[in-house]
């Protein structure tokens, strides 16, 4: 009887070892997957931080550009008023028309720059939103819902089954 119990125990031990090896390989794959997720999360957060800093710089540029645009518009308005003034000499009017042309060109360039900065800021905001979706998506792991199933492994089932068989055999042996 002892030999039968020893054989069953050795067999169950072997099967438990094989189950353990399979379980360990599965856990190694999970750890690698979690490591990759962690790196992806870190990259998304770093990218968000860089985009936010870039947006702060863009906000400063946008504010300065808007101030320059207001300044150009004010100068253009003043020049136009002086050109429309009948008391202004023709030479002065010609000079003001040249200045007005220059100011309008500068205003046009500044508006184009402003539009580009707004566009870049909008792109940064979209990238931040996409990164946030990535972070949110990586945080939700469908495998994590079934953590109980990690406890129900071949290894654990074999150990419990082996203990039960040994218990039954020992109980029968005690009856004899």
CATH number of the domain that residue 48 is part of: 1.20.120
Report CA-CA distances (Å) from 101 to 46, 110, 173.
46, 14, 111
* 23 confidence band (pLDDT: 50, 70, 90): confident
Structure tokens at 71: 């300044």
- Quote the CA–CA distance of 17 and 24 in Å, as a whole number: 10
Host domain of residue 111: 2-175
pLDDT value for 9? 73
pLDDT for residue 18 is more than 80: no
User: How do residues 47-92 score in pLDDT, each as one tens digit?
Assistant: 999 999 999 999 999 999 999 999 999 999 999 999 999 888 999 9
What pLDDT is attached to residue 41?
83
| 84 three-state secondary structure | helix
Number of domains in the chain: 1
Question: How many helical (H) and strand (E) elements, i.e. helices and strands, does the chain have?
Answer: 4, 0
Burial of 14 (0-12, 13-18, 19+ CB in 10 A): exposed
């Amino acid at each position: 009887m002892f030999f039968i119990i020893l054989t069953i125990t050795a067999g169950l031990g072997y099967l438990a070892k094989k189950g353990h090896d399979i379980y360990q390989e599965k856990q190694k794959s999970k750890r690698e997957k979690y490591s990759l997720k962690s790196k992806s999360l870190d990259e998304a957060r770093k990218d968000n931080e860089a985009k936010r800093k870039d947006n702060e710089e863009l906000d400063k540029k946008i504010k300065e550009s808007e101030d320059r645009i207001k300044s150009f518009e004010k100068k253009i308005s003043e020049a136009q008023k002086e050109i429309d003034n009948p008391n202004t000499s023709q030479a002065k009017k010609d000079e003001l028309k040249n200045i007005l042309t220059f100011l309008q060109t500068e205003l046009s360039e500044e508006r184009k720059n402003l539009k580009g900065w707004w566009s870049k800021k909008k792109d940064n905001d979209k990238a931040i939103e996409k990164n946030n979706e990535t972070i949110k998506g990586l945080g939700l792991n469908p495998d994590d819902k079934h953590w109980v199933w990690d406890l129900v492994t071949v290894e654990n089932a074999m150990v419990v089954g082996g203990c039960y068989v040994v218990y039954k055999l020992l109980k029968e042996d005690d009856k004899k």
